[in-house]
Amino acid sequence: MRIASVLTSVALAGFIATGAAAATKAATTTAPATTTTAPMKKAAPAMTPQQTAISKQCSALADTKKLHGKARAKFRADCKKNGGKAS
């Protein structure tokens, strides 16, 4: 019986200490919402139908060349700069 009461006391003290530490840490690290809010980014403008067609053409060319990863991204960027034609 004595062991059970000692364990209960230790557990209760631990919960109280943890709660007090968490409350102290939260109070010191929480800043007002107005100072931590980052400005919203503007939405990207929608692509025109011509740009969409060029992008799809470049993707199809990259598929036929079986390009992946950085090589695919570089190929598509160059292709779109050339108007949908492979360089």
Residues 19-72: tens digit of each pLDDT: 655 555 555 555 555 555 667 778 778 889 899 999 999 999 999 999 999 999
Q: What is the mean pLDDT of residues 7-14?
A: 73
Tell me if 87 sits within 8 A of 78, measured CB to CB.
Answer: yes
pLDDT for residue 34: 57
Cα-Cα-Cα-Cα dihedral sign, residues 56, 60, 61, 65: positive
List phi, psi (to 5°) of 21. -65, -40
What is the model's pTM?
Answer: 0.49
